[in-house]
Chains A and B, each alone.
Chain A
Amino acid sequence: MAAKTIISRPIYGTLSPQPGKHHLFIADAEGALAITNMAGKAPPGFFDGAEIVFIPDPEGKHISALEALRPAQLHLPPSFASLLPRLRQTLTNAHMGLRLYLAGTEGLIGQAMQAALEAGIDHTSIETEHRGSLARRMQCVHCKGITENVTTQPALCSHCGLLLLVRDHYSRRLAAFQGVCINAEDRSEIPPMEEAFP
């Protein structure tokens, strides 16, 4: 779990079963393990009312572990982008009593939460657990382009090419950290690029 720095920097918890009628899990990468760990604390029959959406890696790791939980539905989309229309549809039709659990990389948690906020779910009522890479989704504050999977500090904007300081300043609306030009005064000044978010 990432250390708390500035107030907008998200902090994540450990998934725990909530009271409710329907449970929607969205996970990628090692987030599957957060779900299987939580299953040990869940009351009997919990997964009868659960839908798990898991974006597997190319090897299909963890799929069988999730199948073993016997959820009401297990959906395996190839990417977050491909899952988004279906997620929006699910949330639009859902009723109060649906509980949302997000586990895995920060990019996945942030983007799924963004869709949930649009549907009217308060971010404080979403269960989250961060697993896997610390790679960040970053918005360039200059060109507004989003760069996925940023692991270095500073980082290059994949849209306008500026060298950006990746800040802890996070936007829930955009589901992205803010990147600000690090050498605006003197472009010839190039600080060393380090692996900061492995």
Chain B
Amino acid sequence: MSTGTTKLDVVVSDVVPVNDLVTRFHFRRRDGELLPTFSGGAHVVVEMRDGDRTRLNPYSLMGSPLDTREYTISIRRDDVGRGGSLFMHRSVKPGLEMVISYPVNLFSLDLRAKKHLMLAGGIGITPFMAQTAQLAGGGGNFELHYTCRTASLGTYADVLRERYGNRVRLYHDDREERIDLDRLLSSQPLGTHLYVCGPAGMINWVRDRAASLGWPPETVHFEHFAAPQPGAPFDVELAVSGKTIRVGEQQSLLEAIEAAGVDPPYLCRGGVCGQCETNVISSDGKFIHNDHWLSEEDHRSGCKIMPCVSRFEGKLLVLER
């Protein structure tokens, strides 16, 4: 796969429809051994061989970290996305041999916290499935607030309510139920850590309110799986490997580099972890930075790019790859 990530040869052991949009996938190791240990909040990158095209998408592990006989992920179908979720929903069946990365955790619990306050939106519930299992196993103090569009799209809401009772609070958009965020944040005991996973708008809202209400940044953790944005095709010169490549409309720069046989490092493929940071040698055009990793200054300088999510429009782009 890539520097910093090691592959696991797995077989799809089960595929379970959860609701109209979400399907759960179970993986076991092909050699029958236990899978590597992980901690709540970890993700794996799933390699999808779709004809001549390879997709690499990150998904949160949602099973209990206390059970490593199998890994489970849940994928929300995105009919207008780039096709990864549709491939998983349509083409992945039990018995299929696949390759996934070792787990990586960019959204881990801070176990020094006195209490863990979790906020999930939609499919953003998946990392919390593992985190709550981990905390419940050790008697940890947590509270989960979960917003979903309708009760029928409240993925695993019933499971969570059954497991954890009143520690789980549900909010349904169609019933006009909203989190009273300021009140929730202001009533938490000192030593609470906040975790949020969901759509970008929700994450920004929660981070912004938490900061205004005096939550130190160290106590606010968030995870957003940003899919690379499509855009006009562009050409890139890779100086180190001496290749010129074209980045397609639906392809990310990272994917185009990989397709050319160059193996750059990556971890999150969502513009947050910093692994794939790449130096720009020269450019003539406009950068479309979609990442959360580089500073404003880095973005303005035009000297760095995160190829997993960012694009370019212009005549010339030469990268140190």
Contacts and interface: CB of A to CB of B under 8 A. Distances in A.
B218 A125 contact: yes
Interface stretch (A50-58, A79-87, A95-103): A95-103
Interface string B211-224: 11111111100000
Closest 8 CB pairs between A and B?
Answer: A120-B191, A20-B214, A125-B216, A97-B214, A120-B114, A96-B188, A94-B190, A122-B218
B186 interface: yes
Interface string A150-166: 00000000000000000
A96 B218 contact: no
A168 B185 CA distance: 39
Contact of B189 (A95, A122, A125): A95
Given A20-B214, A98-B214, A125-B217, 16 more contacts: A19-B211, A19-B212, A19-B214, A21-B214, A22-B214, A91-B190, A95-B188, A95-B190, A96-B185, A96-B189, A99-B216, A120-B191, A120-B192, A124-B218, A125-B216, A125-B218
A45 to B, nearest CB: 15
> Interface size bucket, B side?
20 to 34
A7 B318 CA distance: 40
Interface of B: 112-114, 185-192, 211-219
Nearest to B113: A120
B213 A97 contact: yes
A121 interface: yes
A97 B187 CA distance: 9
Interface string A99-119: 100000000000000000001
B187 A95 contact: yes
A171 interface: no
B190 A20 contact: no
B214 A122 contact: no
B218 A19 contact: no
A119 B113 CA distance: 9
Given A97-B214, A122-B112, A124-B218, A21 B191 contact: no
B211 to A, nearest CB: 6
Contacts of A95: 186-190
B147 to A, nearest CB: 20
B219 A96 contact: yes
Nearest to A118: B191
Nearest to A23: B214
Nearest to A97: B214
A21 B213 contact: yes
Contacts of B192: 96, 120
A96 B114 contact: no
Contacts of A21: 186, 213-214
Contacts of B113: 120
A14 interface: no
Contacts of B213: 19-21, 96-97
A121 B218 CA distance: 10
A21 B187 CA distance: 11
Contact of A124 (B187, B188, B216): B216
Contacts of A20: 213-214
Contacts of B189: 94-96, 120
A21 B212 CA distance: 9
Interface in A151-187: none
A36 interface: no
A149 interface: no
Contact of A96 (B112, B190, B217): B190
A147 interface: no
B219 A122 contact: yes
A71 B259 CA distance: 63
Nearest to B216: A125
Contacts of B188: 95-96
A97 B215 contact: yes
Contacts of B218: 122, 124-125
Contacts of B190: 91-92, 94-96, 98, 119-121
Nearest to A20: B214
Nearest to A49: B214
Contacts of B216: 18, 99, 122, 124-125
A97 to B, nearest CB: 4
Contacts of A18: 214, 216
Contacts of A92: 190
9 contacts: A19-B211, A19-B213, A21-B213, A92-B190, A96-B188, A97-B186, A119-B190, A120-B190, A124-B218
A19 B218 CA distance: 14
Interface string A120-136: 11101100000000000
